[in-house]
Amino acid sequence: MHVYLAGCVIGSLLLLGHAFTLWREGVPGAFYYMKLSWFFHSAYFAMYLNLPMAFIVIELLKRYKILSAPLKTVYYLLLAWFFVFIFLLSSKMGLICMVLIALLGSAELIFRHKKTFLGLGLIILFMMFIRAGLHVFSGTSDRVIQSTSTLSGSAGQETSKSTSDRLDIWKVSLDIIKSNLWIGVGTGDVKDVLIGKYKENKIKEALEFKLNAHNQYLQTFMTLGIPGITALLLMLVLPMISAFRKRYLLYFVFILLFAANILVESMFETQAGVVWYAFFNIILFSMKREE
């Protein structure tokens, strides 16, 4: 995990270096969203950074008294660094996952360590940081507000394009699922069926870029029907239940992060999602099994 922490820091520095080059060339918004995360989609890189944040929080909860002062300082600095970077990435799910990690950490303090005031104080402080971040990073704030308006149906002309596009794609995906409920359309045909529906419903951007469902649950249900979605849910729910019962917090949070992120991305359709999930799932599961 410390190697992974270092990798995340180096990766974020590389992205900043690239953004600085764009800024020197006069590119607007060089340090923001997809221009910053030029190598991965911002949602993926935010997910990558959420895991080391969770690791640091768990380390501080479990080993605070025995950690050296320099290491604690490094951990706090890394938390601040990842916090700011996720705001720069402007990933809405990345922000939501940060809140989930903070809530779980506070719950651990309150219910297991019996430090109610400390737990409540930290979550209040964290929400103040979130509010300050939304004030400082106006681009991220605008995306959050527009997405909220789009989901609530109160959006005007200035809506969140990514959210409205996803809603259109999800509606199309649900139509396909209703027509192929039991066995799906098959792994070889799902892209063609989706593209056909994009043409039929005149969803221009999804058709132009031949987008997937941007939701792994819908993608799997479309492709493999009820057996497929059942398998996907079991491979998430059963490890989470086991990790929760055994108080294996890092594995629990890892599965939770992935389960949340595949609500808005079809991560088993990309190498960036498959490799990250497969690698850490087997590593974290094997570590607990050895214990």
Break the chain into its structural domains and give their ranges. 1-155, 160-291
The reported pLDDT for the residue numbered 145 is 78
Sign of CA dihedral 172, 174, 180, 183: positive
**What value does the CA radius of gyration of the chain take, rounded to a whole number of Å?**
20
Ranges in the chain, pLDDT < 50: 157-159
How many residues comprise the chain?
Answer: 291
The reported pLDDT for the residue numbered 158 is 46
Distance CA 260, CA 108 (A): 20
pLDDT tens digits, residue range 147-170? 676 555 555 544 456 677 788 888
| Dihedral of the alpha carbons of 87, 89, 93, 94, in degrees to the nearest 10 | -60
The reported pLDDT for the residue numbered 147 is 67
Cβ neighbour number for residue 126 with a 10 Å cutoff = 18
- Amino acid at site 37: S
The reported pLDDT for the residue numbered 289 is 63
Buried residues in 175-195 as b, exposed as e (16+ CB within 10 A): ebbeebeeebbeeeebeebbe
Distance CA 278, CA 273 (A): 8
Q: Going by C-beta distance under 8 Å and a sequence separation of 6 or more, which residues neighbour residue 191?
A: 210, 212
The reported pLDDT for the residue numbered 208 is 83
The reported pLDDT for the residue numbered 151 is 58
